[in-house]
């Protein structure tokens, strides 16, 4: 039975028994404690914990899951994978143990012809918690199981909780006996390879308190509403029903494994080590496909790093199998075909998935080539010195300079029998992070803000009354002034300090928007606002330069934002939203913003995309943005809950922390709808214009677009117009004919360059022949010396040309100097075989400077007045080398 049919039968079975079919949630989860959904119950967690009322009394789903805690074990065991699917049925205060057991037994043992899975009832074993006599009795009554196949186990195996105070309860697991060829007799307590777990029934009936581990907490009492949470491993059921030894050989993974074996020209089953690598490839490629399909992009932190690590392990495993070409284009297409029956979105999004994956593989192949050489050299040195541990500094160098992740260093070192000083590496990483934090703190506060002093101000006065959305001016009071060494009572003209006010209209840098500029004025002081930050939640700090008088704690002041600055900031921030919507309109919904920055007149936006945007596409994006401006789309702000924002399609980094209510900024309604705390225009036409000025790469699979906005955008377009006018005048061509005219000029220049190169090559050949014929004898070696006008590359080309024209069989030395003090020395094969060394010759001629190989070397820095003497010394030095 194919995996897709197992999935369908499960959902159909429970739908027929009153369960609402709930689609799988995306793998990235908004749960702040998780990177990815790692169990079927995760999307239902608010209902199971009682935080929210479930919209249905009973539900069923097939949930996509990713677990990477034991990623190194993938491929080594028969039943664990990084991506898996969990079939589940859930009851929210509706049915309980008897019904859950009856459903599981019925679906598992009903014949295939009648809609079940057809498992042999006599080969099913179950486990129960040692205290759960009720479950034991139900299994005897409902399934007719004998006592010997109902195994009692302890808290570690058969008592469930989420690891924190809340719901908990005993569970009962179903196992299938796969036969004596796979292990010992005696049930799951004896051998969990032979007896494979395929379904877990969790009976949530108690509430637990604080405590560690699986049993180090008190059970506080019964829950007011008892729930059921079950999980059947789809891959494990496929393993059983398809008669396979492990989950890597089922229909959704075996074709990937076979394609990998075909590419690498190896046979699965012939070499245990190769088999592990093939299974790693099959598992990881499928996992990467599903993560990419759900919008995760490779990166250096969090989810992106998990995906990057999985993809790199797959690529490296293929290289270890002997396949040196790009592997993901072939393997991902196979994985797509395997998963499409259950997840058609992998086909719909495949162009984007493939682009991102191929870009990541290309970047990693370059990293792997450089880093492997460095690592191999370092490991060889460790072994040569009689050690077994690679220094932490070397691992840090690989990470910091060559982009080699530590987990890859650990794996590759272990393969060569060498450990890594992980503590030393961690210490260096911590030092680097602390330096980065200190630098960021210094840049954010201008080096003047004392965090402890700011905390004291926040504790004493409460949060800043922040009015940036409502006004440009506030009457305020100075709560604190901080200098370079801490709090000060007063700041005088010329000093740069950090000022905290009780209320402020200034926008603090956040959400990609730069901070406001403006002034703080009092009866006896004037100060220019240089920067505004939120160093602590709820506190706004202003970095200012006092321009006149004295600014003291307790002063009454007027805080005023520069209106022109704020106008430009609003235009740029709204322009960023407009450009983001235009990107998605032209490139598709996968062109999601992954970072942005905007200030008056300028914006930039990063998004995942592989390959440069063509001029045509850039023009379409710019046109879509300005069409929104010409349409004067309304800009509105709405407050709502995060689930409501998600429901209406608002875009955001949903893994970030938000309050109970979120601020949604809309431009043209659903055309642009994003969570945002920035300042915006009231109508799109107020942005003025959006003029794309640049598009570039900012990493593997990531692009950046930049634009000028508002009056700066019009200025940019005016400068472009003037530039075109000047070029048109200089070339004497109408503007419309400039592209063809310039293309013609470039073709002529390229033709002239080719002709010059040909003539230069011919001249070099003629001169080389003349020089080779005029060499002088130096103790049996023919020595040729000369000077060339040009670069070191010209000298090298002439030296090699002369060397190749020296008489066959006679040792020859060629030395060519450049007028700017460079020297190239090369030897022919007989000279090298006679013991001469080009690198040694250069060093003797230049007093230790220069170097290269034994056959060709070079140096520089020879004073012009010594060039003639250096060349004159070549025969003598060559004859005594």
Q: DSSP letter string over 426-443? A: HHHHHHHHHHHHHHHHHH
Query: How far apart are the C-alpha atoms of 848 and 841, rounded to whole Å?
Result: 10
Identify the H or E element spanning 57: none
C-alpha–C-alpha distance, residues 107 and 119, integer Å: 9
What 3-state DSSP class applies to 56?
A: coil
Please report whether residue 751 resides in a domain.
Answer: no
Verify that 114 and 187 share a domain, yes or no: yes
Question: Which of 17-21, 192-196, 252-256 is predicted with the least confidence, judged by mean pLDDT?
Answer: 192-196
Note whether 817 and 703 are same-domain residues. Answer: no
Which of 372, 400, 415 is the C-terminal boundary of a domain?
A: 372
Query: What is the reported pLDDT for 784?
Result: 92
Of 248-262, 302-316, 443-457, 557-571, where does mean pLDDT reach its minimum? 443-457
Same domain, 352 and 310: yes
d(CA 258, CA 278): 8
Residue 163 resides in a domain: yes
200 and 312 housed in the same domain: no
Task: For residue 852, give both structure tokens.
Answer: 């290269």
Residue of higher predicted confidence among 138 and 368: 138
Residue 166 sits in the same domain as residue 113: yes
Split into its structural domains, the chain has a count of 6
Burial of 193 (0-12, 13-18, 19+ CB in 10 A): middle
Residue 580, annotated as binding a ligand: no
Which of 672, 610, 13 lies closest to 361 in space, CA to CA? Answer: 610
487 lies in the same domain as 435: no
The verdict on residue 103 lying in a domain is yes
Instruction: Please check whether residue 382 lies inside any domain of the structure.
Output: no
Q: What is the DSSP string of 200-232?
A: EEEEEEEEE-S-BTTTBS-EEEEEEEEEEEEEE
338 labelled ligand-binding: no
Residue 844: count other Cβ atoms within 10 Å of its Cβ. 18
Give the pLDDT confidence of 381-391 residue by residue, as tens digits. Answer: 888 888 889 99
Look up the CATH number of the domain holding residue 599: 3.30.980.10
| pLDDT at 731 > cutoff 70 | yes
**548 and 463 within one domain:** yes
Residue found under tokens 């000298």: 795
Instruction: State the average pLDDT for the chain.
Output: 88
Q: Between the CA atoms of 783, 787, 791 and 796, what dihedral angle is there, to the nearest 10 degrees?
A: -10
DSSP-H helix ranges across 509-555:
none
Looking at 346, 372, 398, the residue that finishes a domain is 372
Would strands 219-233 and 20-21 be described as parallel, antiparallel, or unpaired?
unpaired
Closest CA to 478 of 469, 467, 487: 487
In this predicted structure, the answer to whether residue 781 has a pLDDT above a threshold of 90 is no
Residue 448 has pLDDT above 50, yes or no: no
Q: In whole angstroms, what is the distance from residue 40 CA to residue 21 CA?
A: 13
Residue bearing the bigger pLDDT, 554 or 698: 554
Give residue 750's pLDDT band: very low, low, confident or very high (50, 70, 90).
very high
Q: Look at 288-297, 477-486, 861-870 and tell me which has the smallest mean pLDDT.
A: 861-870
Residues 266-317: pLDDT tens digits? 999 989 889 999 999 999 999 999 999 888 888 777 788 889 889 988 998 9
Beta bridge pairs of residue 86: 63, 233
Contact 776, 813 (CB under 8 A): no
Give the distance, in angstroms, between the CA of residue 267 and the centroid of all CA atoms in the same chain: 34
In 3D, which of 553, 569, 547 has the Cα closest to residue 492? 547
- Choose among 199, 16, 18: nearest CA to 95: 18
Helices 563-587, 615-630: crossing angle, 10 deg rounding = 120
Helix residue spans in 84-232 (DSSP H):
97-109, 133-138, 155-158
- Residue 193 is encoded by which pair of tokens? 């390879």
Taking only the tens place, the pLDDT of each residue in 182-214 is 889 999 989 888 999 999 999 999 988 887 777
Query: Could you list the residue range(s) of the whole structural domain that residue 45 is in?
Result: 3-245
CA–CA separation, 63 vs 231, rounded Å? 10
- With a CB cutoff of 8 Å and minimum separation 6, the contacts of 673 are 648, 649, 650, 651, 664, 665, 666, 667
Whole-number pLDDT of residue 533: 92
Taking residues 834-857, report their average pLDDT.
86
Q: How many CB atoms lie within 10 A of CB 751?
A: 10
Q: Quote the CA–CA distance of 91 and 86 in Å, as a whole number.
A: 16
DSSP 676-730: --S---SBGGGG--EEEEEEEE-STTEEEEEEEEHHHHHHHHHHHHHHHHHHHHH
Query: Any binding-site annotation on 676?
Result: yes
Q: What is the mean pLDDT of residues 504-521?
A: 93
Helix and strand tally (H, E) in the chain? 25, 34
Question: What Rg value do the Cα atoms of the chain yield, rounded?
Answer: 36
CA trace torsion 275, 279, 285, 288 (10° rounding)? -140
H or E element, residue 574:
helix 563-587
Q: Is residue 739 part of a domain?
A: no
Return d(Cα 198, Cα 107) in angstroms, integer.
Answer: 12
Please tell me which residue, 402 or 663, carries the higher pLDDT value: 663
Say if residue 58's pLDDT is above 90: yes
Is residue 680 part of an annotated ligand binding site?
yes
pTM score of the predicted model: 0.57
Residues 615-624: what's their mean pLDDT? Answer: 93
Task: Give the CATH number of the domain where residue 839 resides.
Answer: 3.10.310.40
Residue 727 within any structural domain of the chain = no
Residues 524 and 589 in one domain: no
Q: Which of 252, 248, 289 is nearest to 2 (CA)?
A: 252
**828 and 805 in one domain?**
yes
* Residues whose CB falls within 8 Å of the CB of residue 501, separated by 6 or more in sequence, listed in order: 464, 474, 476, 477, 478, 479, 520, 540, 542, 557, 559
Measured between alpha carbons, how far is 278 from 255 in angstroms, rounded to an integer?
11
Q: In the structure encoding, which two tokens stand for residue 854, read together?
A: 């034994």
Contact 655, 666 (CB under 8 A): no
User: How far is Cα 24 from Cα 65, in angstroms, rounded to an integer?
Assistant: 9
User: Coil, strand, or helix at residue 151?
Assistant: strand
Whether pLDDT at 370 is above 80: no
User: Over 90: is that where the pLDDT of 779 sits?
Assistant: no
How far is Cα 768 from Cα 423, in angstroms, rounded to an integer?
59
Q: Which of 302-306, 390-394, 408-412, 861-865 has the highest mean pLDDT?
A: 390-394
By C-alpha distance, which of 107, 124, 104 is closest to 203? 104
Q: Which residues 6+ apart lie within 8 Å of 442 measured at CB?
A: none
Helix axis angle for 302-320 and 272-293, nearest 10°, is 150
Give the percent of the chain with pLDDT over 90: 51
Find the mean pLDDT for residues 461-473.
94
DSSP secondary structure code for residue 22 in this structure: -
Do 495 and 584 belong together in one domain?
no
241 and 267 in one domain?
A: no
Q: How far is CA 725 from CA 716, 728, 731, in A?
A: 14, 5, 10
Task: Report the percent of the chain where pLDDT is more than 70.
Answer: 95
Quote the CA–CA distance of 471 and 509 in Å, as a whole number: 17
Residue 328 buriedness (CB in 10 A; 0-12 / 13-18 / 19+): buried
Could you count the other beta carbons within 10 Å of the beta carbon of residue 307? 27
- Asked if residue 362 belongs to a domain, the reply is yes
CA-to-CA dists, residue 121 to 109, 176, 233, 271, 545, angstroms? 6, 9, 18, 36, 82
Q: For the domain that residue 517 is a member of, what is the CATH number?
A: 2.40.30.130
Per-residue confidence (pLDDT) for residue 444, from 0 to 100: 45
* Alpha carbon distance 98, 110 (integer Å): 18
Judgement on whether residues 590 and 542 belong to the same structural domain of the protein: no
Residue 542 lies in a domain: yes
Token digits of residue 685: 């036409």
- Cα separation, 115 vs 13, in Å, equals 8
Look at residue 622 and give its three-state secondary structure: helix
Distance CA 568, CA 167 (A): 52
Beta carbons within 10 angstroms of residue 746's beta carbon = 10
More confident residue, 833 or 14: 14
Q: Is 60 exceeded by the pLDDT of residue 437? A: no
β-bridge partners, 161:
168
Least confident of 36-50, 493-507, 655-669, 676-690: 655-669
Q: Identify which of 495-504, 583-592, 780-789, 799-808 has the greatest average pLDDT.
A: 495-504
Q: What is the pLDDT of residue 706?
A: 95
Using the 3D structure, point to which of 318, 340, 372 is the last residue of a domain: 372
Residue 443 has a pLDDT of 44
Sheet containing 595-599, strands listed edge to edge, beginning at the edge strand earlier in sequence:
595-599, 602-608, 702-709, 690-697
Number of residues written out for the chain: 881
Work out the average pLDDT over 595-608: 91
Kindly state the average pLDDT of the residues 567-579.
96
Residue 440 has a pLDDT of: 45
């Amino acid at each position: 039975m194919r995996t897709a049919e197992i999935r369908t039968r499960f959902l159909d079975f429970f739908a027929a028994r009153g369960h609402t079919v709930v689609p799988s949630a995306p793998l990235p989860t908004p749960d702040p404690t998780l990177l990815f959904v790692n169990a079927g119950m995760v999307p239902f967690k608010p209902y199971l914990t009682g935080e929210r009322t479930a919209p249905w009394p009973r539900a069923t789903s097939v949930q996509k899951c990713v677990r990477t805690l034991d990623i190194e074990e993938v491929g080594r065991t028969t039943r664990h994978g990084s991506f898996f699917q969990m079939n589940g049925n859930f009851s929210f205060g509706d049915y309980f143990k008897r019904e859950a057991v009856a459903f599981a037994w019925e679906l598992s043992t009903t014949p295939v012809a009648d809609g079940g899975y057809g498992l042999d009832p006599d080969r099913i074993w179950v486990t129960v918690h040692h205290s759960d006599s009720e479950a034991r009795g139900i299994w005897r009554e409902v399934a007719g199981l004998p006592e010997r196949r109902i195994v009692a186990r302890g808290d570690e195996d058969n008592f469930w909780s989420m690891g924190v105070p809340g719901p908990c309860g005993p569970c009962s697991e179903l196992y299938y006996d796969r036969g004596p060829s796979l292990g010992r007799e005696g049930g799951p307590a004896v051998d969990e390879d032979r007896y494979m777990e395929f379904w877990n029934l969790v009976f949530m009936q108690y509430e637990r308190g604080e405590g560690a581990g699986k049993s180090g907490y008190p059970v506080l009492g019964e829950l007011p509403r008892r729930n059921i949470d079950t999980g059947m491993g789809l891959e494990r059921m496929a393993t059983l029903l398809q008669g396979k030894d492990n989950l890597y050989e089922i229909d959704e993974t075996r074709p990937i494994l076979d394609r990998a074996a075909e590419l690498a020209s190896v046979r699965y089953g012939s070499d245990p080590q190769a088999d592990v690598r093939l299974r790693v490839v099959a598992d990881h490629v499928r996992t990467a496909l599903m993560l990419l399909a759900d919008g995760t992009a490779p990166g250096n932190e969090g989810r992106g790093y998990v995906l990057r690590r999985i993809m790199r392990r797959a690529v490296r495993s293929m290289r270890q199998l002997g396949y040196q070409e790009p592997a993901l284009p072939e393997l991902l297409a196979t994985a797509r075909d395997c998963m499409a029956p259950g997840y058609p979105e992998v086909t719909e999004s495949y162009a984007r998935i493939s682009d991102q994956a191929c870009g990541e593989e290309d970047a990693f192949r370059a990293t792997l080539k450089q880093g492997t050489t460095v690592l191999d050299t370092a490991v060889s040195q460790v072994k040569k010195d009689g050690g077994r541990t690679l220094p932490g500094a070397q691992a840090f160098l690989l990470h910091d300079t060559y982009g080699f992740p530590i987990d890859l260093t650990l794996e590759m070192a272990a393969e060569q029998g060498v450990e890594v000083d992980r503590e030393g590496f961690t210490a260096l990483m911590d030092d680097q992070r602390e330096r980065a934090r200190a630098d960021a703190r210094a840049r954010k506060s201008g080096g003047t803000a004392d965090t402890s002093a700011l905390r004291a101000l926040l504790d004493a006065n409460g949060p800043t009354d922040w009015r940036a959305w409502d006004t440009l001016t506030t009457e305020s009071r100075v709560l604190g002034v901080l200098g370079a060494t801490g709090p000060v009572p007063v700041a005088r003209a010329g000093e740069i300090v950090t000022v905290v006010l009780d209320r402020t209209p200034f926008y603090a840098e956040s959400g990609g928007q730069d901070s406001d500029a403006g002034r703080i004025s009092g009866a006896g002081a004037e100060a220019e606002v240089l920067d505004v930050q939120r160093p602590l939640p709820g506190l706004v700090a202003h970095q200012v330069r006092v321009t006149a008088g004295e600014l003291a704690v307790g002063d009454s002041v007027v805080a005023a934002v520069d209106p022109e600055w704020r106008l430009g900031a609003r235009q740029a921030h709204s322009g960023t939203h407009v450009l983001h919507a235009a990107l998605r309109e032209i490139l598709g919904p996968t062109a999601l913003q992954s970072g942005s920055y905007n200030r008056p007149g300028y914006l930039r936006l990063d998004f995942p995309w592989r390959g440069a945007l063509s001029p045509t596409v850039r023009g379409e994006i710019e046109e879509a943005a300005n069409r929104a401006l010409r349409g004067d789309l309304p800009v509105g702000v709405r407050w709502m809950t995060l689930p409501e924002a998600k429901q209406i399609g608002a875009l955001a980094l949903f893994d970030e922390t938000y309050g109970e209510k979120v601020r949604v900024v809309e431009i043209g309604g659903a055309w642009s709808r994003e969570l945002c705390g920035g300042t915006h225009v009231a109508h799109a036409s107020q942005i003025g214009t959006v003029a794309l000025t640049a598009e570039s790469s900012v990493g593997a699979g990531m692009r950046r677009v930049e634009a000028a906005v508002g009056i700066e955008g019009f200025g940019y377009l005016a400068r472009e117009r003037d530039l075109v006018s000047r070029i048109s005048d200089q070339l004497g061509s109408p503007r419309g004919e400039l592209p063809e005219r310039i293309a013609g000029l470039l073709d002529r220049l390229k033709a002239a360059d080719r002709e010059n190169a040909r003539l230069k090559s011919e001249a070099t050949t003629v001169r080389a022949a003349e020089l080779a014929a005029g060499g002088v004898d130096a103790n049996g070696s023919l020595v040729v010396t000369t000077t060339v006008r040009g670069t070191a590359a010209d000298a090298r080309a002439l030296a090699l040309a002369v060397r190749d024209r020296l008489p066959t069989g006679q040792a020859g030395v060629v030395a060519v100097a450049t007028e700017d003090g460079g020297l190239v020395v090369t030897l022919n094969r007989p000279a090298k075989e006679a013991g001469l060394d080009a690198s040694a010759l250069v060093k003797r001629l230049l007093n230790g400077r220069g170097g290269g190989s034994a056959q060709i070397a070079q140096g520089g820095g020879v004073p012009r007045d010594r060039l003639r003497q250096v060349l004159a010394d070549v025969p003598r030095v060559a004859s005594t080398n």
